[in-house]
Amino acid sequence: MNIDSLNTSRFLRNDFKPRLARCELIAVTPTSISSDLEFRNWILKQPEGETLLRCYQCGRCTSACPIAEIDHSFNPRLFLEKVILADESLAENQLIWTCLTCEQCEVRCPEHVKIPQILILAKVRGLVSGNTPETALDRARSILSQGRTIQVSEPMLKTRDKMGLPSLGNPPVKQLAKALKELGLAEKLENIKSIYGGDGDE
Amino acid sequence: MSKAIEYTYFPGCMIPFRLPHFELTMREVLSRLNIELVADEGHSCCPEPTTFTGVDFEAWLTVGARNIAVSESTGRDTMALCSGCFHTLAMVGHTLQSDSKTRERINKRLKRIGMEATGEVTVKNILHVLHEDVGLDKIRKSIVQPLKDISIAAHYGCHLVRPIEATHMDDAEDPMWMEDLIEVTGAKPVDYPDKMACCGAPISPSDEPKSFVLAADKLRKIRDAGADAIVLVCPTCYTQMEMQQKKAIEHLGPEFSLPVLYLGEMMALAMGMSDLVVNNARRYHRVKLQPLLEKMGVGK
């Protein structure tokens, strides 16, 4: 029999929420599951977040992942399971920052679940608890203050000049700040302490 | 010669200030092909897609959309040399076009600064421009110093290629445009296992040892396939596979080294502009290029 003709994906998609949740609850550690659906609902509302609902836990993502290959504790299928079960502990797990965003999982996913995007959203939720590498915070601060990820120095400008490359001016940082104001990112970045260590300054 | 074809050049941060030999060689290569890159001072950091997304995804979309709006105001196609910049602009543009709710939300923020982004601007990477817009036939005519007897492996990197619905590349698992360009220069493209494997750089801020394991594994597979050199497009991949090559390889020992060329360097060599490469080799290459250049017959 041709497996494809069964159209298993549609069957699971229509029916899976209560069923999968019940059977998977037995398979995971119950103490780690929050009863609060807020995290899951937030993910579903974000761009591409609703692709989560297409996941039927086949595990192709994990078998495609180059990080899972060298570190068995990194398991994209399990990460998706946690989000499906509204387990927000994922946002505080440092492992999510070892996702390469290489999208190999997404390429191989039979349901085109936006897995790297869902992990990105989990990272965003982890910011308040400091689950953000210091380098990521530094780059973000630099983008807000300079409009670039790096500090442009005099020698860099001189080198461009010597090579005959045109001046690129300075990015309009005031405009950036105005567009981003309602997000409150600048204030957040002032108060966040990364759990990854480092002194917080470049 | 007819009037040059212009693209809006999206410079980003890494290439213009850390690796300006990328910009230098590619500008000269494109100039030979009658293409001019025009920068717009309104552009900022793209923002970079590997860490800023995970700090504040909405801010990433907003800053990216502002850059798209600047691009749209130029009336030209935009080309980003950097794969990270290209990825961000292509992704944000795709999101603006395909997700009307997000487009409206982001444009409310842009309205405060008197801007609007539709996502309709065409964002290209250098392979779109060289392979699709210029075409292999025209490039072939500009090759004056074919890179005979040289085997080169293409490293695409992830963000140049994926996701395919936003990048509009030829294939997500086995792209071939760079191999075509290698062939046009007279060199022999080398296939190797796991061609689309990541260089490891994106996780360097959180787990440097793991990022080096991936880089070393990749370098070893390329060396075992018999390549004399690697050619690539992305400045982050370059930093990882060239500047950090020695450190990465030490993780898996035994040691070896493999020259890495930026695509613009490879093309400049084949177009007879070897000075551009030779003069900047010591400053921007840690792996010695001399043996490779000698094999190519450059600098004799």
Smallest CA-to-CA distance from B263 within B5, B79, B2, B23 is with B23
pLDDT above 90: percentage of residues in chain B: 96
Task: Enter the tokens of residue B289.
Answer: 């290029």
Lowest mean pLDDT among B1-15, B123-137, B166-180, B189-203: B1-15
**Closest Cα in chain B, distance from residue A4 (Å):** 22
Once rounded to an integer, what is the mean pLDDT over residues A146-152? 96
Q: Is the pLDDT of residue B63 over 50?
A: yes
- Mean pLDDT over the full length of chain B: 97
The answer to whether B258 and B172 are in contact (CB under 8 A) is: no
Helix, strand or coil, per DSSP, at residue B141: helix
Task: Enter the tokens of residue B12.
Answer: 């980003």
Q: Is the pLDDT of residue B205 over 50?
A: yes
- Neighbour count for residue A12 (Cβ, 10 Å): 18
| pTM as predicted | 0.92
The answer to whether B169 and B175 are in contact (CB under 8 A) is: yes
CB contact under 8 A, B59 and A121: no
The DSSP result for A79-148, as a single string, is: HHHHHHTT-GGGGG-GGGGG-----HHHHH-TT---HHHHHHHHHHHHGGGT-S-HHHHHHHHHHHHHSS
State ipTM: 0.95
pLDDT tens per residue across span B137-175: 999 999 999 999 999 999 999 999 999 999 999 999 999
Handedness of CA A108, A113, A119, A124 (dihedral sign): positive
Smallest CA-to-CA distance from A68 within A98, A33, A30, A23 is with A98
Task: Pick the residue of B55, B95, B97, B101 with the most A CBs within 10 A to test the interface with A by mutation.
Answer: B55
Q: What is the pLDDT of residue B21?
A: 98
CB contact under 8 A, B203 and A97: yes
Q: Locate the chain B residue with the closest alpha carbon to A171.
A: B44
pLDDT tens per residue across span B7-40: 999 999 999 999 999 999 999 999 999 999 999 9
Q: Is the pLDDT of residue A35 over 90?
A: no
Tracing tokens 């061609």 back to the chain, one arrives at B195
Beta carbons within 8 Å of B41's beta carbon, 6+ residues apart: A168, A169, A170, A171
Once rounded to an integer, what is the mean pLDDT over residues B40-63? 98
Query: Which tops the pLDDT comparison, A199 or B127?
Result: B127
Q: What is the pLDDT of residue B298?
A: 87
Q: Is the pLDDT of residue A12 over 90?
A: no
Once rounded to an integer, what is the mean pLDDT over residues A186-195? 95
**Closest Cα in chain B, distance from residue A74 (Å):** 12
